[in-house]
Amino acid sequence: MNQIPLSHILFVSTALFFIGMYGLFTRRNMITMLMAVELILNSVNINFIAFNKYLYPEKLEGVFFSLFIIAIAAAEAAVAIAIIINLYRNLHSIDVEAADEMKF
């Protein structure tokens, strides 16, 4: 069986992680930032499944962990959307720069 090596998959997931991080720090649109967070979480999912498949093929722990991550990510997204909607009601904008009540 001509498998793709583990390092390739890890490369993809790391790239996704940093794309997510980049998005989180550069985007000013709240929805896009939320998407960036999801990207980070999903890159980790890939990691878990890749490790599970390649290193411990007889076990399923990694897959279960990624299931938990998906569930939690959904919960987080729900809360985040609620927060964003609430901000939108007050600010009429979903640009984070508009939320500048507090300065460091």
From the CB of residue 35, how many other CB atoms can be counted at a distance below 10 Å?
15
**What SS3 state is found at 72?**
helix
d(CA 99, CA 91): 8
In the range 28-57, which residues lie near another protein by CB under 8 A?
A: 30, 33, 37, 40-41, 43-44, 47-48, 51-52, 55-56
> What gap in Å lies between CA 61 and CA 99, rounded to an integer?
41
- In the bound complex, what is the minimum distance in angstroms from residue 2's beta carbon to another protein? 22
Is residue 23 a contact residue for another protein (CB under 8 A)? no
One-letter amino acid identity for 52?
A: N
Interface contacts to another protein, rule CB under 8 A = 17, 20-21, 24, 30, 33, 37, 40-41, 43-44, 47-48, 51-52, 55-56, 59, 61-62, 64-65, 68-69, 72, 75-76, 79-80, 82-84, 86-87, 90-91, 96, 99-102, 104
